[in-house]
Chains A and B, each alone.
Chain A
Amino acid sequence: MIRASIVGASGYAGGELLRLLLAHPHVEVSQITSETYAGQYAYFLHPNLRGHTDLRFVRLADLKPCDLLFLALPHGQAMDRIDDFASLAERIIDLSADFRLRDPADYPRWYGREHPAPRWLDRFVYGMPELHREELRTARYASGTGCNAIVTLLALWPLYRRGLVREAVVDLKVGSSEGGSKPTPASHHPERAGVVRTYAPVRHRHLAELIQELDLDPADPGLHLSITSVGIVRGALATCHCLLKEDLDERAVWRIYREDYADEPFVRLVRARRGIHRYPEPKILTGSNYCDIGFAADPGHRRLVVVAAIDNLMKGAAGNAVQTMNVMYSWPERTGLEFPGLHPI
């Protein structure tokens, strides 16, 4: 049993993490922090946890040493205090973007500020077990992944690592929880309800992670993201329009994805000729850590459409962080993550 604490547990990712860790057989949650809600019971902010914990939020200044610190702060805060956090815990998993990128120059380029602790960037492993499992087994520090980045990476990794893609355009439809728990005029219900709102047609920040992890040329990556908010709370669906170097038939695509993902505990191939959902559907993944991936070839046009779905708070954030923890501690990766989602929902 390890003792873990969550810094920034009042947000959606922090709350989801708390839900998962409370049910995890090898973790005791020691403390949860929030400056705004210090002293309050967690279940007033995360009402699904009533009856599951009597933990109250504490201030960051009252944080005590533990075995593992999860950092679920807004981007830009963990990087300012990383030395302090490292003095409190042997291991850290940071869900923010602060330690995802290896090149310090990427931070002013994509996040608008210099990184204050660039020497820490090499110490963090990009927290995606499917790509970095062996490094994570011995890592003390792991980053999270961008929710849009991880769903796109899982969709495209098998194709890019084989050099099959000439260019790709990824159209992401995402739920409102990606925007976090702090309200804005744009998230006010009369404005947000029912939208199909394209808010990042080009240059979304998560492209930086894709360039890094797929080893693309930053000046001309040949990979394009467009993000659209839709009227769901949880979920991200990546529709990846891949223009291939050569035609691929679907049997070949099946073989490629099976070869890479057959043993992955949280990747499923969904390209069904029967059933209700014949391609990946985020709705049925709510609360689960799965990434479902499907595809359709367009024979004769060297085009392949890959479709991938996740729950952005699970495989896109807290669930993936718990999976990363399981790898770091050599526990079975599914531990604490067995929930299969709901149907109907």
Chain B
Amino acid sequence: MLTVECPECAATVELPADVEVGEILVCPDCGVELEVVGLEPVAVDLAPEVEEDWGE
């Protein structure tokens, strides 16, 4: 099984066997979106996210 470490929270994130570059995954622990940026070796980066205003 392919796995990567979440760059946000260090969780182990499982990847599908047919994962492709550009695919967006969600970390099951912290919920951040991860973009697959490489396959050999598999690498992910934080995907750009629209910030919500929780400050009100």
The residues of A with any CB-CB pair to B shorter than 8 Å are 250-251, 254-255, 258, 269, 271-275, 278
Residue among B9, B33, B54 making CB contact with A250, cutoff 8 Å: B9
Q: Establish whether residues A272 and B10, one from each chain, have CB atoms under 8 Å apart when the complex forms.
A: no
B49 pairs with A251, CB closer than 8 A: no
* B42 touches A (CB below 8 Å): no
- List B residues 3-56 near A (Cβ within 8 Å): 8-11, 26-27, 29-33, 49, 54
Given the complex of chains A and B, what is the CA–CA distance between A254 and B10 in angstroms?
A: 7
Q: In the complex, are the beta carbons of A273 and B32 less than 8 A apart?
A: yes
A251, chain B: closest CB distance, angstroms: 4
Which B residues lie within 8 Å of A258 (CB)?
11
Separation of A274 and B11 alpha carbons in the complex (Å)? 16
With the chains together, A274 CA to B52 CA distance in Å? 10
Q: Is there an interface contact between A273 and B10, defined as CB atoms closer than 8 Å?
A: no
Does A251 contact B31, Cβ atoms closer than 8 Å? no
Say yes or no: B31 contacts A275, CB within 8 Å.
yes
Q: What CA separation (Å) do A250 and B8 show in the bound complex? A: 8
CA of A271 to CA of B26, assembled, Å = 14
**Complex contact A272–B11 (CB within 8 A):** no
Q: Are B29 and A251 in contact (CB under 8 A)?
A: no
A297: min CB distance to chain B, Å: 12
Which residues of the other chain, A, contact B49 by a CB distance below 8 angstroms?
273
Q: Are B30 and A271 in contact (CB under 8 A)?
A: yes
- In contact, B11 and A273 (Cβ under 8 angstroms): no
A35 shortest CB reach to chain B, Å: 49
Chain B interface helix/strand/loop/mixed: loop
Distance, CA A271 to CA B28, complexed state (A): 11
Closest 6 CB pairs of A and B: A274-B31, A272-B31, A273-B32, A254-B9, A251-B10, A273-B31
**Using Cβ atoms and an 8 Å threshold, which residues of chain B touch A251?**
8-10
CA distance A250 to B30 in the complex (A): 11
Partner of B8, one of A255, A273, A275, A278: A273
**Chain B CB within 10 A, most for which of A255, A273, A278:** A273
User: Inside 8 A of B11's CB, which chain A residues have their CB?
Assistant: 254, 258
Q: How far is the CB of A277 from chain B (nearest CB, A)?
A: 11
Question: How many angstroms from the CA of A250 to the CA of B10 in the assembled complex?
Answer: 9
When C-beta atoms are compared, the residue in chain A nearest to B54 turns out to be A278
19 CB < 8 A contacts A-B: A250-B8, A251-B8, A251-B9, A251-B10, A254-B9, A254-B10, A254-B11, A254-B29, A255-B10, A258-B11, A272-B30, A272-B31, A273-B8, A273-B31, A273-B49, A274-B26, A274-B32, A274-B33, A275-B31
A52–chain B nearest beta-carbon distance, Å:
37
Q: Which residues of B contact A272 (CB under 8 A)?
A: 30-31
A311 to chain B, nearest CB (A): 23
A269–B30 Cα gap in the complex (Å)?
9
Q: Which residues on B sit within 8 Å (CB–CB) of A274? A: 26, 31-33
Residue of B nearest to A255 (CB): B10
Cα of A251 to Cα of B9 in the assembled complex, Å: 5
Q: How far is B8's CA from A342's CA once the two chains are assembled, in angstroms?
A: 29
Task: Please name the residue on chain B nearest to A269 by beta carbon.
Answer: B29
Alpha-carbon separation in the docked complex, A278 to B31 (Å): 9
Kindly list chain B residues whose C-beta atoms are within 8 Å of the C-beta of A269.
29
Bound-state Cα–Cα, A269 to B10, Å: 13
- Give every chain A residue within 8 A of B29 (Cβ-Cβ): 254, 269
Q: Which residues of B contact A278 (CB under 8 A)?
A: 54
Whole-angstrom distance between the alpha carbons of A275 and B11 in the complex? 18
In Å, the complex CA distance between A275 and B29 comes to 12
B30, B31, B32: most-surrounded residue (chain A CB, <10 A): B30
